[in-house]
Structure 1
């Protein structure tokens, strides 16, 4: 006959086995990472009660509309500096280490193989929600992850795909805008974390 302590212990073990880790993924080129990325990740982390959010720089952007990016080592270092001191943020280097075009569907298959006890929430801005029909193997990808949408100015919250929307301040800033401002010597302080801006200036990135 089992004692009450044995029953309780077995119950706790079963509960722990059934508990799956809830992880957010914020992918992108991060050229450079900015306040908008940090606010998105933080809002989703808190509102969905996630265990953590991983920032995942791509190696070669896979978008149909070509995006230019500086060397991956610079982007990785900038992300490191952007999230330093934030215990609920971390860096995921799967796409950097794999190389080639960074197709999200391939990445998520690999992450799920490595971490079968984890549920993934893929965080995207409203502009990327609008872009979803162009994503590589999107019909397969939506079976692997839960997309989480964060509103962006000038984009509607509509999609033919299942998107979980999070209410967040809409910050009208983009990496493209920041690169242009840096190239023309316009101030970008407070739009980019100080540690990231110091690295950009040290390495002379995005100069005209």
Structure 2
């Protein structure tokens, strides 16, 4: 009806430098990074091995699949009561309180549940659980990440407790920084994919996607 061609399969080269073939039923196995990589190749017009019709079909398939991913993520967020990639507080509050946090040192690891102690806006010790990072807004994640990153690099800042940070403290801080970076990256990627399927032109698509990293 809309003159769309049928795309039989997509081949993806992943980090291991091996080619993987996906058909329509396999699209759910694709990672968001796979989608981003293919979109970048498409908007940068580097798929010279494909005909114009094949590139058009790939564009349609990626848009349809990306829209399905965005909708699925939105539904999951609603089920959790969470707006996981919006720059605002989430509807479901994270589990941040523990009775023994008052005497603990801020920005040190907490064992059970796994997480890190941080200072909230009222200068109170609170717990940021590693499995609840999606419940924190971007601003809070950035603040905690900055403090942990300063600790790993040995940078002395007024808001960081004056103490000697052990190698184990720095190692745990690096692990938490990596977890936060992964969460923030996924949010940026989802925002860019949302804008891509929103009907923007290729020029804007490219700038948005290139800013993902």
User: Which has the larger strand fraction?
Assistant: 1
Under a length normalisation based on structure 2, what TM-score does the superposition of the two structures give?
A: 0.23
Largest Rg, 1 or 2:
2
Under a length normalisation based on structure 1, what TM-score does the superposition of the two structures give?
A: 0.23
Q: Which has the higher contact order (CA 8 A, sep 6+)?
A: 1
